[in-house]
Structure 1
Amino acid sequence: MSRKHDALGIDIGGSGIKGAPVDLDKGCFAEDRLRIATPEEATPEAVCDVVEQVAEHFAVNTDVPLGITLPAVVTHGVVRSAANIDRSWVGLDADALFGQRLGRPVHLVNDADAAGVAERHYGAAKGEKGLVILTTLGTGIGSALLLDGHLVPNSELGHLEIEGHDAESRAAESVREREGLDTARWAERLQTYYSHLESIFWPDLIVVGGGVSKQADTFLPLLDLRTPIVPAKLRNKAGIIGAARLAARGN
């Protein structure tokens, strides 16, 4: 087996399930990514069918670890919440389900946590000491906490209460689109959110991920924070890369 196939990463999203073998030394895909649409009814069995297709496509040895992200809180392989997937996931031992179906070692992880690990080792937070907070601005607000490079899982900082509202219901990218907010008005909401975040955690660095990070130069300069805040570098590759690293190396 080539060293570049250290692990396989699969990122389960609301619209697509994407995967690729990962070279963990370089932090990049070892082959072109495969994407298959997420089933309309994203039940565990239906999603598992697609994950199996993605895994079989790359024909890597079954002893190669497989990391899988979910838009959910995951503790010890058990799914505790569900965002953009069917509610039947809640309470499921997903590690066992995927492991049995795929016949290989499997590690389940929250999608934002996977992105945070990838950015810490290969991206915008590489080598950063102290506390790093990654947030993903998309349908909701995902988050990852990393202390001296170690992941503190399932932080769910998009659900902090801001001015009487769930933070992601006011500041997510989807809210900006739905309410037709211009950049300046959206930045005001982001200012409120990130100011609250830094007043609680006093982080050393904030990394902003999600698809909107590619337009970070239009809104990050409008924020006035004491904490350095930078766009993510790996963007839509981060989930796959981070999941693969966690499966193979544990952090």
Structure 2
Amino acid sequence: MLSLSNVDSFYGRSQALHDMTVTAPKGEILAILGRNGVGKTTLLRTILGLTDRSEGVISLDGEEISARPTHERARAGIAYVPQGRMIIPDFTIRDNILMGGFAAGGPRRIPDIVPELFPYLMDNLDRPGGVLSGGQQQQLAIARALACKPAVLLMDEPTEGIQPNIVEQIEEIIIRLNRELGLTILLVEQNVTFARRAAGSFVMVEHGTAVETGRIDLLSDDMVAKHMAI
């Protein structure tokens, strides 16, 4: 579905990814694991063309997208739920969601699944996004990404900084998006227990490259301790 082959990525003169090769199987969750600062977020940003430059091959459904600008990659079916959510606080909930539709082109509308997944958002469409709690803002960021009509969803630590009673809800929503909508999801996650429960495969990142990859049942405790323990 989505693959990177020998990809290097740069911020200015600083190289952040080194010879990154990884494949996200169609219709699965790929867990992207590793310590903080090893290049996991840069991997997602590189897929969308949000670093200063990159080299190597990025392919979506067998078609190379490496040279395409960000808006064309989004229109091809890649959506992003960034770390920190990045909603626009002065926009209403409705406008934040509809903003995601600009990437897809055509009429902008709230996706049919949003009322089922996020009833609170639908009951408060005219409230500013900035008054929402962290967990509610994360729901809003996911709803905005769904308005892009994606086939691939990039999610950067979606449970980070969220109150504990909401974390489980977000985790279940991620699993539903994959299993019920068939979305391919690249999930940057620190919670190994959740990654093992949700994902079909994994990539372990260290120093900007993939040091371990495989099916999720091959993710051993020794591997986690080696590459994720502080």
TM-score norm. by structure 2 comes to: 0.29
When normalised by structure 1's length, the TM-score is 0.27
Higher RCO (C-alpha under 8 Å, 6+ residues apart) = 2
